[in-house]
A = this chain, B = another copy of it.
């Protein structure tokens, strides 16, 4: 089942009623594409509780967690905090929030033991392969120079996707690879699946869309069709 992961980032539309409205749209679509497309929303820490409570089919992720256990860590967000708020997983190592190698190791291990999913971002095939060593739930490869450009990685740098998939498979064939950066249309998403990706990670395409629901529908429908074609 292909993955449609939407990173809310800290866009103005990520917070409060705007963020909740996008989440409710995603929920509607997740019901419609139940068993066909898996919806993930990576929301700001402050919105996890409110959005998690309102959703059922959509999988809510944190965008980042801190490599600490619960304790005297003012201003830190441990894995337990996002789990308690309702998150089922977390992004790790997004290009805007890179983590140290040893912290990715630690966080993937701790998340797994807490029953939380992990989606580790990487900017190169080698970094994606290194991340796969830790056996996260998924990795996403995103050439940072394309993030937010509207130049889809699946067209501008398809070899980054295919190399990442090849290298990740050599390390750990069970880790699915998502494609990210510059993906804005159903066509881009479908192309990513044809290249071997297990789904897409998008942000501005949805969060800055005039009609976020229509955009998510377009992406979901394209992923569904591309997945069906692959049989």
Give the interface of A toward B (CB within 8 A).
Answer: 7, 9-12, 14-16, 42, 44-50, 62-64, 68, 70-78, 80-82, 84-85, 91, 93-105, 122-124, 126-127, 129-131, 133-134, 147-148, 167, 171, 203-204
Contacts and interface: CB of A to CB of B under 8 A. Distances in A.
Contacts of A203: 72, 74
Given A46-B81, A46-B82, A103 B96 contact: no
A73 B84 CA distance: 23
A12 B126 CA distance: 29
A99 B163 CA distance: 24
Contacts of A42: 74
Given A9-B71, A9-B74, A91-B74, A105 B81 contact: no
A133 B73 CA distance: 27
